[in-house]
Structure formats: structure tokens, C-alpha cells
């Protein structure tokens, strides 16, 4: 039996982790911590857990982790980096869902997250937890940096085309739309119903913290410089990410040839589905799938990629559980289908 703890379990990603793990007969979530919800029962904050989760939110205390096999940190960026160094000598496996350990350089982190990194020496030790790219490294890792939601949708869509030199690496435009849950559970005026409903809004153009994550992963994977524009948008959905990616073809390829490149690249990836039709968010909500589709615009010689995920599952909690499965030598699909 895997003994698990969720730090920051009262937020959307933490609650999603609890939902997924509570259905497992080989995992026991024995500790859930929170800040403002200390003392509350999980089923009080999330009534859907009534009858299935008998846990109350505790304050974080390092002494309570001696019997824990894996810790999930579902905290806002800037908080996990203060706790991970304390947990490294106590817990065998740590999976951080924040952005604190995703970037290879503390200076990049400080530039885009606008926060001084408290544990820069661990950046080189953390393994980027994208199973479709780093499965072997994940299996040997102690500390996993779970990918961001926008990067997951963009990287999975772009990797095959870049690695097979189908597209120009300096010709990429990524437009991504996210449901409101991607901003977290903390209340704010700009995320209120009247501000979000019947509206679409771009934000953090050119400054979003996921830009260096997308760039560093793609450049490391391909061995060449990659340049792109990334424009995130907030849309009136609870959950889901829809990325439309514009690229320029290097050579004249048919749609059948592109499909074969993608199909072959992801043939061993159980959660990536290559579609012959345009993907839709409703087909991936509450699943760990990433659906990828494409079309070729012959007039402009563009390969246009469409990628959809659930930001709370494949973009957060589901991918974290997928990483846990790999770390413990289990089938990566376990508990996620």
C-alpha cells in the first residue's frame, strides 16, 4: 500500500488529486494539509467527497511524514520551494505541481515568477515530469517537477513536428485558452462570474511564467533554438485548455504523412490521442488525455495544430498521478482510465 500525503489539498489541483487517489485500492491518502482550511473536513469543503473521504485538513508539520511514501505539493508557486528541502531527507518521492522546480535556471525563475528562489541547488536534481518525453528519468527520480497546464498542451503538440524537422523552429505562434479553474481557488474580482461570463480575455502577453518552461523543454528535446509567441486567454469554462498553434512547414508534406509522424511518435503514450478531426475540450474533460489534431493550410504553407487537455487532470493532478505510477513501477495508466 502506497502511503500518500497532499500538501495544499484544499485547492482545485489538490482536490483533484484526492478525487483520483481516493478511488485507488493500492494508495492510501493518510494526510492532507491546508492553510486557511485547517480543521475543516474534506467533505465539508467539497461535499462530493461525502462517504468516500474521511480526512480533515491539517497544518503542515514535518514530523508527520515519516511513514509517507510520496508527497504531492499542490501549492501556489513560491511556497513549495520552502518545503521541498525539508522533505528531501524524510520522503522518498516528491511531486511538486507548482512551477518552483520546472526551470533549469534560478535567474529565469526570478525573472518570470518575480520571486527569489529559495532552493536553487535542487533545480538540477528535479526531473521534468512529462512522461511522454522523460519516462525513464521519472522512474529513477526523487523529485518531480510536474509540468504546467499550458506547457503540457503546447509541448505535446509541437514535439513530433519539431523533432522530425517538419516545421521551422522560429515560426511558431501559440494561442491558448484556459478555463477559470486554471487560476486557482482564491477568490478575486477579475475571476468572478460577472467578469468572466460571456467574455474572452488575453492576459500576460509576453510575460507569462510558462514561456521559459515551454522554451527550455522544446530546446532541450530538439537540440536547437525555438522561437515562439505565446498568448494565453481566459474563457468562461470551469476547466479545459484549448491550444491553437500556427507553424510553417519546412517541406511539402501531406496530412497522411503528418498523421504518421505523430502516430509513430506517440504510439507508446497511452494518454495522447492523435485525431483525424479537430479536437474538442468536451472530449477530454475529467480525463488524463491530450487530444491532438491538425490541418494544413496550403495557401500559407502552415501546419496548424490543435491540442486539448483538462487543465486539472492532464495539466495537473492526473499527470502527477501518472508520474507517481511510473516512480513506483506501476502501469502509468493505473487509476487514470
Residues with catalytic roles:
149
Q: Which cell is 218 given?
A: 522544446
Distance CA 203, CA 198 (A): 16
Are the CB atoms for 142 and 94 separated by under 8 Å? Answer: yes
Q: Return d(Cα 284, Cα 135) in angstroms, integer.
A: 22
Give the residues across from 175 on adjacent strands: 231, 244
State the Cα–Cα distance between residues 310 and 153, nearest whole angstrom.
9
Amino acid at each position: 500500500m502506497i502511503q500518500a500525503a497532499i500538501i495544499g489539498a484544499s485547492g482545485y489541483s489538490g482536490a483533484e488529486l484526492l478525487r483520483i487517489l481516493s478511488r485507488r485500492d493500492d494508495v492510501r491518502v493518510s494526510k492532507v494539509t491546508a492553510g486557511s482550511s485547517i480543521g475543516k473536513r474534506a467533505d465539508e469543503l467539497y461535499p462530493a467527497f461525502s462517504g468516500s473521504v474521511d480526512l480533515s485538513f491539517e497544518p503542515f508539520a514535518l514530523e508527520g511524514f515519516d511513514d509517507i511514501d510520496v508527497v504531492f505539493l499542490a501549492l501556489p508557486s513560491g511556497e513549495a520551494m520552502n518545503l521541498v528541502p525539508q522533505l528531501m531527507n524524510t520522503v522518498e518521492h516528491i511531486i511538486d505541481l507548482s512551477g518552483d522546480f520546472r526551470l533549469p535556471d534560478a535567474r529565469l525563475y526570478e525573472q518570470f515568477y518575480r520571486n527569489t528562489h529559495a532552493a536553487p541547488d535542487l533545480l538540477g536534481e528535479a526531473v521534468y515530469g512529462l512522461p511522454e518525453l522523460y519516462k525513464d528519468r521519472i522512474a529513477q527520480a526523487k523529485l518531480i517537477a510536474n509540468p504546467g497546464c499550458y506547457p503540457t498542451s503546447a509541448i505535446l503538440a509541437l514535439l513530433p513536428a519539431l523533432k522530425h524537422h517538419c516545421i521551422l523552429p522560429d515560426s511558431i505562434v501559440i494561442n491558448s485558452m484556459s478555463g477559470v479553474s486554471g487560476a486557482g481557488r482564491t477568490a478575486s474580482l477579475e475571476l468572478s462570474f460577472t467578469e468572466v461570463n460571456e467574455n474572452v480575455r488575453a492576459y500576460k502577453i509576453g510575460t507569462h511564467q510558462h514561456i521559459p518552461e515551454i522554451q527550455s523543454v522544446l530546446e532541450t528535446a530538439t537540440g536547437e533554438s525555438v522561437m515562439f509567441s505565446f498568448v494565453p486567454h481566459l474563457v468562461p469554462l470551469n476547466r479545459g485548455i484549448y491550444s491553437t498553434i500556427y507553424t510553417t512547414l519546412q517541406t511539402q508534406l501531406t496530412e497522411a504523412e503528418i498523421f504518421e509522424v505523430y502516430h509513430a511518435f506517440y504510439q507508446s503514450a497511452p494518454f495522447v490521442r492523435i485525431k483525424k478531426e479537430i479536437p474538442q475540450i468536451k472530449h477530454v474533460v475529467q480525463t488524463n488525455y491530450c487530444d491532438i489534431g491538425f490541418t494544413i493550410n496550403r495557401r500559407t504553407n502552415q501546419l496548424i495544430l490543435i491540442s486539448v487537455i483538462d487543465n486539472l487532470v492532464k495539466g495537473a493532478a492526473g499527470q502527477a498521478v501518472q508520474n507517481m505510477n511510473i516512480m513506483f513501477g506501476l502501469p502509468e495508466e493505473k487509476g487514470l482510465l
